[in-house]
Amino acid sequence: MWPSAFSIFKGQSCPSGTSCELPHCLFAHNQSIAPTSSTESTRREKLSNSSPPAKRLRLDGDATSAPTNKVIDPPIFTGLRTSKSISKPTSAPSKQGNVSALGPAQPALDVESDHRLPQTAIKPVSPPPTKASIEAKPQPEQEVSLFPRKLQNEPMPLAARLVRLKMLHDYMTPFNNKLLAAKNPATKALYFSANQLRKLAVDEEAQIAIEHGVMYDNVIKQRIHAYKKMTQEEWVKTRREAVAKERGEVPKKPLPKKLETGMTLKEEVTFLSTMLAPEASLEAHGFVTKKPTDGEVEECKQTQMITDFWEVCDRCGTRFQAFPERREKDGALTTGGKCRYHWGKKMWPKREKGKDPEPAKYSCCNEAVGSEGCTESDTHVYKFTDVKRMSLVMPFIETPENDRVEPQTAVCFDCEMGYTTQGFELLRLTVISWPSHRPLIDVLVRPLGFILDLNTQWSGVSMDQFLNAKPYDPANPKPKRTDLRIVESPYVARELFLDHVSPTTPVLGHALENDLNVIRLIHPTIVDTAILYPTKSGLPYRHSLKTLAKQWLDIDIQQGGASGHDSYEDAKTTGELVRSKVGHRWSKLKDEGWTIQEDGVYPPLPVGLPPPSVPAAPSMIPPPKTANINDGTPTKRKLETFEHDDVEEPLSTNDGPATKRLLVFEEGDPE
């Protein structure tokens, strides 16, 4: 039977029960329904005890009137929240605590997590482990024979591959057998059984065959030769690295090679004077060399008021409003809602002949340029590079004289920045001495505006680190990288920096125009690695600090991933890059005979003795004849002519020599 869904008796059970054979029965089947009388009485009882039904609301106005369209305000952003790992404080925060952590006069943060754990996850007693997890047994090893694996594209015949595989296994066996005699238990644990060693050889041979293809024969021979020359210590090191990689452990960074320049530290600082960037180069790279006038700053202020704080998002290009102070009606910091963007750079694939060019893609998600963003943020952000507008937030100053700074000193300098309602502001300041790399300053900085995004992926400053930082203690200025202190404003951070520099102190860094602009400082003595190591294409293209460190120092930096950069690591790497350039230039100048003295670098002296002194050469112009005035007043000279000189006829040169006019001196005239 098939019960009908449109029956007035569907609430009553069928009298025939399970023996009903009607295809369209009017009654319900397989339902335990109470008698009709009790159900009806229960319903009536509920209706009697309940309140009367609510009346429908009457609409105001005539039914023919057109409905009014209510304007819906766009979504706004009122501030950041802490991560859910921060617990709610038991006592009230102090005045210097979290009140101003995210900006001036910022209200207290909502530290209570929005994502609560389910009740089953916080039981006082955990459920007992399952039987399967207790009785889990390791699976037996699969027997591996010493024979090459069958590949889809064979680089060589199997017989030739087998010969090379056996040679590879034969060179591995002595190293593995010596591990049994090791006294260190950790080294002895690296021993492979016969089956594991065969698997290692087969895997390595197959990997070479897959990756190198036609070059398989050369590569496998080079690998066999490497095992032939390998020592037992190198074998142990290789095995430890392989075991750590299988366990997912991060390999330890190898210690960088000590850089030698052939000079003392004092001579390196003296030689640094030959590598200072000229003013024209500084202006071309975006350095601020002159302060804007008060009139220009005031004009910029009026322009900003006219635009009503409308900005363009630095990530997705959306127009939105950013209020330096909270908007009065709702406390908003920004408008426009969430921001979806690509954090990676644009990549242009290489063009191949005979093929259409492929579209540019983003390095973050490998999606085409113009696609929807792969990352979402709570708010839009912005920054600006106009000097007048930067002066409106915090005025520029020139480096003042400082008698406390010792001569023959230099510093490396790096900053980390984040987005606030005032643009792109300073969050961390790091200064170290050069070339000794001794830390001088390493502090967090409370910005002038309300924080929109700490930019942790690049700045390395996390929310927990920023909120929990202790105030800076001038009595104990020695920096600790594990316990960064925080200063109250960029003005204080700039004063700390000026305590270690003077106008003649070389300041080293990479793309220093960004760091100097964020602390609003004009400094004349600059050594920038972006200028020392230019690209072949020239400006506006530049090498990244990560690329220069790998190319010239053979070290890997900025490997923190989502944890961001470390300003101390960047500053130290910049200093080593400058030392590398100093060493290369000095080696060339030293061969040419240049010398380093306390006050500078001097070229070589000329070879041999100076030429002997000789009399001055006579003048090429004869001296003019002058009248002799010793015998009295000279008589005048007269002009006399030959005969017929009074006839006005042209001189004839055909019949003989031309008639000449002679200057005849009278008697007594000097010759």
The encoded tokens of residue 218 equal: 């050369």
405, 341: one domain: no
Mark whether 297 and 234 lie in a shared domain: no
In the chain, the N- to C-terminal Cα span, in Å, equals: 160
Where on the phi/psi map is residue 504: left (φ > 0), alpha (ψ -120 to 50), or beta?
Answer: alpha
pLDDT in tens, 602-658: 888 877 777 777 677 777 777 777 666 555 665 666 555 555 545 444 444 455 554
Q: How far is Cα of residue 57 from the mean position of the Cα atoms in its chain?
A: 60
Read out DSSP for 198-226?
Answer: HHHHHHHHHHHHHHHGGGHHHHHHHHHHH
In this structure, what CATH number is given to the domain that contains residue 571?
3.30.420.10
Q: Please indicate, yes or no, if residue 409 is contained in any of the structural domains.
A: yes
Question: What percent of the chain clears pLDDT 70, i.e. is strictly above it?
Answer: 74
In a domain, 133, yes or no: no
DSSP reduced 3-state for 470: strand
d(CA 37, CA 21): 27
Among residues 387, 337, 619, 667, which one has the least CA distance to residue 513? 387
Q: Under DSSP, is residue 424 helix (H, G, I), strand (E, B) or coil?
A: strand
In sequence order, which residues have a C-beta less than 8 Å from that of residue 595 and are 6 or more positions away?
601, 602, 604
Q: Are residues 231 and 322 in the same domain?
A: no
Q: Which residues pair with 453 in a beta bridge?
A: 419
Does residue 58 lie within any of the structural domains? no
| pLDDT band at 71; cut points 50, 70, 90 | low
Domain count, the chain: 4
Q: Are residues 413 and 457 in the same domain?
A: yes
Say whether both 401 and 372 belong to one domain.
no
Closest to 360 in 3D by CA, of 345, 339, 340, 374: 345
Contact criterion met (CB below 8 Å) for 4 and 26: yes
Residue 476, in any domain of the structure = yes
Give the predicted TM-score (pTM) of the model. 0.61
Helix 216-229 to helix 194-212 angle (10° resolution) is 140
- pLDDT averaged over every residue in the chain: 79
Pairing of strands 595-597, 600-602: antiparallel
Instruction: Determine the 3-state secondary structure of 444 from DSSP.
Output: strand
Say if 387 falls within a structural domain: no
Beta strands in 488-554 (DSSP E): 507-509, 521-522, 526-528
Same domain, 522 and 593: yes
> Which of residues 578, 600, 622 is at a domain's end?
600
CA distance linking residue 144 with residue 308, whole number of Å = 74
- List the domain range (segments joined by +) for residue 14: 1-50
Q: In this structure, what DSSP letter does residue 307 have? A: T
* Residue 198 confidence (pLDDT) above 60: yes
Residue 386 inside a domain? The answer is no
Dihedral sign from CA coordinates of 20, 22, 23, 24 = negative
In this structure, what token pair is assigned to residue 456? 């942790």
CA 444/CA 442 separation, integer angstroms: 7
User: Residue 356 pLDDT > 90, yes or no?
Assistant: no
Same domain, yes or no: 545 and 405: yes
Lowest mean pLDDT among 36-50, 251-265, 377-391, 499-513: 36-50
Tell me, yes or no, whether 166 and 199 share the same domain: yes
Q: Are residues 323 and 401 both part of a single domain?
A: no
Confidence grade of residue 79 (pLDDT, cut at 50, 70, 90): confident
Q: Return phi, psi of residue 496, to 5°.
A: -65, -40
Q: Are residues 560 and 479 in the same domain?
A: yes
Residue 626 resides in a domain: no
Judgement on whether residues 302 and 225 belong to the same structural domain of the protein? no
**Shared-domain flag, residues 454 and 582:** yes
